């Protein structure tokens, strides 16, 4: 036990506890939900409602403070700290963003308003969208272009394997003399299933 304590005392510890408060530079008010990020380490924390934070870092780490509406600030933890705690009071300066001016004007004339009102395209309501989606030609087009899902693909493969096992050792029947297959072919031909798709 004494040897372990001696080794811990002789080896300098580089892990320290960083704590402090983040405030506005003009009014010294705590900034809540300010991000405290350790650069290059993929970890960090946020400040409390009063701007207070605490995080474990390593000596020499770069710490970035960022919050919406303020300029980012980056500090470096000193490498020659004698203790394993380090406190900081970080002030952030307000970052003002100027947006371009927007001028709102009414319609110049009544004729232009009537023309724009008549030519405005109104999106379909839910009933009209459902009616279009249930149209027979629309459903046929979706069915022709829609790939099979996993269940349909597995079912098809199982049917193919069962068909091969059923007719193993013999020639499978030909549907060229099957009247039901001919009836399906004539119906498909009348529907236009074999027309060339553009």
71, 7: one domain: yes
Q: In this structure, is residue 39 part of a structural domain?
A: yes
Q: What is the distance between the alpha carbons of residues 4 and 171, in angstroms, rounded to a whole number?
A: 83
118, 36: one domain: no
Q: Is 66 helix (H, G, I), strand (E, B) or coil?
A: strand
Res 135: pLDDT: 85
Pairing status of strand 62-66 against strand 43-46: unpaired
Q: In this structure, is residue 138 part of a structural domain?
A: yes
Res 172: pLDDT: 77
Pairing status of strand 85-92 against strand 73-76: unpaired
6, 85: one domain: yes
Q: In this structure, is residue 177 part of a structural domain?
A: no
19 within 8 A of 85, measured Cβ to Cβ: yes
Domain count, the chain: 2
Res 148: pLDDT: 79
82, 156: one domain: no
Written as six digits, the tokens of 122 are 């109104």
Other beta carbons less than 10 A from residue 43's beta carbon = 11
Q: In this structure, is residue 8 part of a structural domain?
A: yes
Res 6: pLDDT: 41
14, 75: one domain: yes
Q: In this structure, is residue 141 part of a structural domain?
A: yes
Q: What is the distance between the alpha carbons of residues 86 and 59, in angstroms, rounded to a whole number?
A: 10
Averaged pLDDT, groups of 10, the chain, 198 residues long: 42 80 92 93 92 93 93 92 90 88 80 86 83 84 82 88 86 80 88 77
9, 88: one domain: yes
- The structure tokens 């493969």 sit at 157
Q: The domain containing residue 141 runs over which residues?
A: 106-167
């Amino acid at each position: 036990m004494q040897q372990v304590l001696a080794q811990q005392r002789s080896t300098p510890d580089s892990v320290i506890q960083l704590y402090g408060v983040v405030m506005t530079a003009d009014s010294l008010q705590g900034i809540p939900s300010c991000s405290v990020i350790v650069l290059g380490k993929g970890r960090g924390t946020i400040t409390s409602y009063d701007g207070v934070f605490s995080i474990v870092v390593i000596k020499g780490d770069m710490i970035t403070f960022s919050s919406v509406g303020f300029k980012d600030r980056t500090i470096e933890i000193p490498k020659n700290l004698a203790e394993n705690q380090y406190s900081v009071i970080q002030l952030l300066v307000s970052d003002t963003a100027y947006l371009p001016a927007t001028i709102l004007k009414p319609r110049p004339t009544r004729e232009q308003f009537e023309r724009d009102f008549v030519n405005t395209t109104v999106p379909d309501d839910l009933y009209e969208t459902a009616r279009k989606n249930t149209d027979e030609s629309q459903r046929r087009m979706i069915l022709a272009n829609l790939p099979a899902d996993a269940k349909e693909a597995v079912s098809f493969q199982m049917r193919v394997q069962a068909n091969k096992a059923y007719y193993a050792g013999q020639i499978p029947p030909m549907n060229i003399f099957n009247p039901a297959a001919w009836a399906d072919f004539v119906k498909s031909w009348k529907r236009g299933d074999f027309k060339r798709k553009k």
